[in-house]
Amino acid sequence: MNRTMNVVRMQLVNRYTYVWVPLLVLFGAFALTLAVYAIVRNAGADVELYGGGAQAPLWYFGVVGMQALTLTFPFSQAMSVTRREFALGTFVTAALTALALAVIFVIGGLLETATNGWGMRGYFFQLPWMWEAGPVGAGFVFFVVAMLFFVFGFWGATICKRWGAFVVTVVLLGVATLFVLAIGAIIGSGNGPAVWEGIVGLGAVGLAACGLGVLVLLIGSSFATLRRAVP
């Protein structure tokens, strides 16, 4: 465990990647969204306003996942860190950052509720479909989605390290093709409405719980690939 925590410290040597840039992206998107809300209000609009800017740091988290492997994996091997310790420490670092972002997301949503959307009925954090299960549920959803983005980026980077960019492209195209074929099969069988109703019935928390299974699958496959990757 001590060696794993050393990997966490190693990853956090560059705090800009894990801390400051995600916060900058989040609060930058927040400031821009409030500016847009103010412009819309001044134009005379009288409706509740919702934006999707809170997802901005999630996309960046995918990039962090890739950098976590490509920038620090060779160094970790030079320091005699095992691949298992590197993977575990890296995922712990990502979980800590995702948890911090989730807490900020929840606090922001509670402030929006208390201030009636910053006095403009404009909501950046308080998205109804994510908050239907309350603040804990919203934080859980945000945390899982952030981890999915990170692990997906890490997973892609392990494939690139092991087999190269061409194989990464082929794998991604294969996954996209299977997804499209699955949708086509569902619609073609006439079960589209039933499947859609099932997805809606799960709600954000239910979908996030399903995402945990995807998370475990990606972590397992990325570690299996990392065991044979060349630093």
pLDDT tens-place string over residues 74-94: 888 877 888 889 999 999 999
d(CA 124, CA 132): 15
The tokens describing 90, both together, are 């890296």
Mean of pLDDT values over 45-54: 86
At 96-111, the pLDDT tens digits run: 999 999 999 999 999 9
Predicted structure pTM score: 0.91
For the chain, the farthest-separated pair of C-alpha atoms sits apart, in whole angstroms, at 63
Euclidean distance between CA atoms 103 and 106, whole angstroms:
5
β-strand partners of 49: 122
Q: What is the mean pLDDT of residues 51-55?
A: 87
Structure-token match 């479909």, residue found: 129
Q: Which two tokens stand for residue 197?
A: 């109703």
Query: In this structure, are residues 64 and 153 in contact, taking their beta carbons and an 8 Å threshold?
Result: yes
Alpha carbon distance 73, 58 (integer Å):
22
CA 39 to chain CA centroid, nearest Å: 30
Distance CA 104, CA 110 (A): 10
Tens-place pLDDT, residues 160-196: 888 888 998 999 999 999 989 999 998 888 888 888 8
CA distance 211 to 219: 12
Residues 6+ apart with CB under 8 A from 214: 148
pLDDT tens per residue across span 194-211: 888 888 888 899 999 999
Confidence class for position 1, pLDDT limits 50, 70, 90: low
d(CA 151, CA 138): 20
Residue 24 has pLDDT above 80, yes or no: yes
How many beta carbons lie within 10 A of that of residue 136, not counting itself? Answer: 10
- The segment with the largest mean pLDDT, out of 25-29, 128-132, 187-191, is 25-29
Q: Can you tell me whether residue 49 is helix, strand or coil?
A: strand
Question: Could you give the C-alpha distances from 90 to 12, 97, 189, in angstroms and in order?
Answer: 10, 11, 42
Which two three-digit tokens encode residue 164?
A: 């190269």
Measure the CA–CA gap between 153 and 59, rounded to whole angstroms: 10
